[in-house]
Amino acid sequence: MKKSQISVKWKTFFIFLIFAIVLLGVLWFFQIVYLDDFYKIIKRKETEAVLTDVENLLYSSDNPTDDIEKIAASNNLGIYITDNNGVALYNAEYISNSQMSSLPQFMFGLFYDQAVANGGEAVIEFKGNVMQRKVEKERFQFGENGEPIPPAESEDSQSETDSDDTDSATDETEDETEEETEPQGKIAYTIPEEKKEEVFRQNIGNDMAESVIYVRIIDVDGAEEVIMINSVLTPVDATVYTLKVQLRFISAIMIVVAFILAAALSNNISRSIIRINEGAKKLADGDYSVKFNSRDYMEVAELSDTLNYTATELGKTDSFQKELIANVSHDLRTPLTMIKGYAEVMRDIPGENTPENVQVIIDETERLTSLVNDMLDISKLKAGTITIQPEEYNITESIRHVLERYNKLREVEGYTIDFVYDAEVMVYADEQKMYQVLYNLVNNAINYTGEDKKVTVIQKVLGDTLRIEVKDTGEGVKQEDIPYVWDRYYKDKTAHKRAISGTGLGLSIVKNVLELHGAKYGVSSIQGQGATFWFEIPLDL
């Protein structure tokens, strides 16, 4: 696996810094680049909502003047309401450059007819005086049905009319034509030469500003009323400039703050990890006394607790292993010494080749075999290579056979081993493995029993469960050591008697074999009153 070249400190620093830069970039992008677009969208929606509010107000109030003033003022809009002839009914202009109150008649007619053609509503957009210049160049004519007549057609009609009347034309009719021409069956709007300076000019003083006029025709008590609402779509230049200045200051402050926070946060996070890493290196070197005390974050605290537990367990395992080596070395050396000694005596001294001496050599060889077998068994059990082969057999008889192995111990050392049971019991289990369990439990009790050298084996039938208990009368197991008695290599140094051999693997073998059978097991002990090791297996009767 490729090793990362960036420490968590600098990685956290750069991530936080990049986040701050991206955040500032987003602010600049939306506040400056797309400010106009957002402002237009918001103002359009606001104007549409106000248009609906004003319509509802006209329907529900007989004198809505004050309310219209409040709506226009609070939303910075121009509200102009007329009848269908363009006569002003209400006017509230809160836009400094709005000229709604001076709307020319021909422009009103244009707005009105466009709203009628669109089903009662129209939206007229302005950018400076573009529409004004367009109006100045064209003549707008409309037929009786309200449909606009193209300028070219209007001019042709006008030319025909002029040619038909050339013989009777007078200076008086020419003057009338300059002001307004109304062909039969048509309504026409033109701009008199002397009125051109009075043409409607929206956004005076800022020919690049954009605005919109919403037009809606409504029926109020049988009379048509025209609502026109003017809204500026272009943000004020001063507002944009203010935002830019603010963002410059905000950007500078944010970058400085980002640097400080990134450095502080990265140092804070990395400090705990660095301490844990240093402690883990000591742990790897065999220093199990190291303590992990980082509590900056929940995950770091949990990791510290886990490493502390690991260090404790590794320390215990290391201690057990060292004790095992010492015990095994001692247990191996003693029988080997005895075998060598008796063999040399039998070789060098005539008449010493007796059955008794040979039996000593055989016994010590069996002790060596038992030690080696224990170590092999625990290794296989931990590796999961041992499987059980259950069958139905008499476990009571098996217990008696185990106890018979200690007959010599009873005779020579004076041990008392009692077996208490009510009846013969048949179980379904691996007879060889369960024999090993019983042997190890009895052997353990003999090793740790008291001065009376008494061990008791009890067989109980509890419903559909068989319970086996092995009791001794020794000092018992310390309460703080009870969770560890089943661990491999565990031995109580203070109570163990060297007269009876042991490797510290017996109870660990018991635990693994019982777990293979799905049996329950445990130990109960009172300091100074001995210990009782027990297990329960279901009966298959």
pLDDT by residue (tens digit) across 248-260? 888 888 888 877 8
* Mean pLDDT calculated for residue range 166-185: 39
* Structural domain contains residue 340: no
* Structural domain contains residue 62: no
Say yes or no: 411 and 507 in one domain: yes
pLDDT of residue 186: 33
Say yes or no: 396 and 310 in one domain: no
pLDDT at 30 over 90: no
How remote is the C-alpha of 503 from its chain's centroid?
50
pLDDT of residue 191: 47
Say yes or no: 392 and 316 in one domain: no
Say yes or no: 291 and 417 in one domain: no
CB atoms within 10 A of CB 146: 13
Say yes or no: 304 and 403 in one domain: no
pLDDT of residue 537: 92
Say yes or no: 526 and 391 in one domain: yes
Say yes or no: 399 and 510 in one domain: yes
Say yes or no: 392 and 503 in one domain: yes
Q: Fill in the amino acid letter for 318.
A: D
* Structural domain contains residue 117: no
Provide the number of structural domains found in the chain: 2
pLDDT at 157 over 80: no
- Give the helix/strand (H/E) hosting 289: none
DSSP symbol at 488: T
In tens, the pLDDT along 275-314 reads 888 888 888 888 888 888 877 777 778 888 888 888 888 8
- Give the helix/strand (H/E) hosting 433: helix 431-448
Q: How confident is the model at residue 520 (pLDDT cuts 50, 70, 90)?
A: very high
pLDDT of residue 253: 83
Spatial distance between the Cα atoms of 541 and 538, rounded to a whole number of angstroms: 9
Mean pLDDT rounded to a whole number for the chain: 76
pLDDT of residue 389: 87
CA distances from 445 to 172, 176, 198, 300, 534 (A): 142, 136, 121, 45, 12
* Structural domain contains residue 183: no
Q: How confident is the model at residue 151 (pLDDT cuts 50, 70, 90)?
A: very low
* Mean pLDDT calculated for residue range 337-354: 86
Percent of the chain with pLDDT over 90: 15
CB 487 within 8 Å of CB 321: no
What is the reported pTM?
0.42
Q: Fill in the amino acid letter for 496.
A: H
In tens, the pLDDT along 391-448 reads 999 999 999 998 988 877 777 788 899 999 989 999 999 998 899 899 889 988 988 8
pLDDT of residue 458: 95
Say yes or no: 528 and 408 in one domain: yes
Say yes or no: 314 and 451 in one domain: no
Max avg pLDDT among 317-321, 365-369, 422-426, 487-491: 422-426
pLDDT of residue 176: 40
> Where residue 467 sits, what CATH number does that domain have?
3.30.565.10
* Mean pLDDT calculated for residue range 525-539: 90
Say yes or no: 393 and 519 in one domain: yes
How remote is the C-alpha of 3 from its chain's centroid?
26
Opening angle at CA 427, ends 424 and 429, nearest 5: 145
Percent of the chain with pLDDT over 70: 75
Q: List phi, psi (to 5°) of 187.
A: -115, 125
Say yes or no: 307 and 394 in one domain: no
In tens, the pLDDT along 50-98 reads 999 999 988 888 888 889 999 988 888 889 999 988 888 888 888 766 6
pLDDT at 46 over 80: yes
* Structural domain contains residue 250: no
Domain that holds residue 320: 286-324
- b vs e for 383-393, b when ≥16 Cβ sit within 10 Å of the residue's Cβ? eeeeeeeeeeb
* Mean pLDDT calculated for residue range 139-159: 44
Q: How confident is the model at residue 8 (pLDDT cuts 50, 70, 90)?
A: low
pLDDT of residue 492: 59
pLDDT of residue 177: 37
pLDDT of residue 314: 86
pLDDT at 465 over 80: yes
Q: Which of 410, 493, 492 is nearest to 453 (CA)?
A: 410
More confident residue, 131 or 139: 131
pLDDT at 521 over 90: yes
More confident residue, 500 or 353: 353
In tens, the pLDDT along 115-138 reads 999 999 998 887 655 454 444 444
pLDDT at 31 over 90: no
* Structural domain contains residue 354: no
Q: How confident is the model at residue 523 (pLDDT cuts 50, 70, 90)?
A: very high
* Structural domain contains residue 213: no
CB atoms within 10 A of CB 192: 11
pLDDT at 273 over 70: yes
